[in-house]
Amino acid sequence: MNKTILNRREMIRGSVALAALAFAKCPLELFGADAPADGGTLIPFLDQQPPGKQLRWEQLKSWITANEDIYFVSHYGVPQVETKDWKVEFGGLVKKPRTFTLDEIKKRKNVTLTATLECGGNGSSPGFMGAIGNVKWTGTPLAPILRECEPYKRAVEVAFWGADEKAETIRGKEYKQNFGRGLGLNDLLQRDDILLCWAMNGEPLAKGHGAPLRLVVPGWFGIAWVKWLNRVEVLDRRLMTKYMAREYVTLRGEERGDKTIWRETSVGPMNVKSIVARAVRLPNGDVRLTGAAWTDGTPLKAVELKIDDGKWAAVTLDKKQTAEHAWTFWSHDWKKPAEGEHTLVSRATDTEGRVQPAEDEPAIKLKKTYWEANQQHPRKIRIS
């Protein structure tokens, strides 16, 4: 009997040691696990997101976001389109206009890349902080097709048009408009990762995500990722549609001495940003905090975490799952936290020195529009 008890005790000690070793080697193992096999317990945030079609941070289960968890936005509604009849036209200021069917696009060289898709308004309020996801996109690189079309030297811009349309009032009169966004021609020609995309996470695009064809622009907010793409037009001037010049425009104020300088800019590249996503109570009493950070493709330098009124502390970045334009997971073990309510906040920094600001810092203090919200997002939990 004594020998049996001793063996059981030894087995328990051995199991605990192995569990500790597993935690040390796989710090993100608990990220998204609803019922960890080792007895870890998920601690709910007090500022939980309201229901809606967006990512649920506390339920995040993998580096790649499932298709059904990806938000989608349409400004002119979802058009009724037939995949079998789909064509995309390349024209404007080019010597060799082209028109492709979907099958012809698919037969060209195609690539699959991982990139984070984020809405330009994500993070603008506690109730809208899950309009983001990390996805594997499959499509045909855009740049080679543009080169084949041979743009004229005076060309500076490429306009991308979707099949979705609506009448807009411009200078007192109504005009039917297709959704459109523009990107600089030189930038497009220098990048091989901007795609004419037809699949996400290995599955055909869903109708709400732009089927049968959409633009994928890694490092830019989702407003630039034109859906239901059917026309690509090369221009010699900047495109000024509603969603380039009047909406998805950020108004910022900059204090210079005793004056404030105001500027409006079109929403484009993503900002450096992070969030505390999960808190899990470990068997030893510690709390494992995990989260994600992302940028416009500029390498991420560090993520720091502050608990209550403490100092900023570096967290551990996951180096196993990385891509240039994808988010990075991070983790931190909070040793024996005291009971009660606590505030957790993270901030990310990229290699160019851009730091995710607090909402009262000069970089965003005078920002008057909610687009491009990248302020630090404090979250609260209760330890009991």
- pLDDT (tens digit, 9 = 90+) per residue, 314-328? 999 999 999 999 999
Residues of the chain with pLDDT under 70: 1-39, 50-52
Beta bridge partners of 319: none
Neighbours of 86 (CB within 10 A): 20
Q: Sort residue 32 into left (φ over 0), alpha (ψ -120 to 50) or beta.
A: left
The pLDDT of residue 7? 41
Residue from 70, 67, 377 nearest 222 by CA: 70
How many C-beta atoms surround the C-beta of residue 382 within 10 A? 12
- Residues constituting the chain: 384
Output the pTM of the full model: 0.88
pLDDT tens readout for residues 148-207: 999 999 999 999 999 999 999 999 999 999 999 999 999 999 999 999 999 999 999 999
Looking at residue 213, what is its pLDDT?
98
pLDDT at res. 206: 95
CB 74 within 8 A of CB 211: no
User: Six-digit token pair at 185?
Assistant: 């021609």
Quote the pLDDT of residue 24: 40
Give me the domains of the chain, ranges plus CATH numbers. 27-59+268-383 (2.60.40.650), 67-247 (3.90.420.10)
What is the reported pLDDT for 340?
A: 96
Tokens linked to 129 = 């902080």
- Is residue 275 within 8 A of residue 356, CB to CB? The reply is no
- pLDDT reported for residue 50: 66
CB 27 within 8 A of CB 316: yes
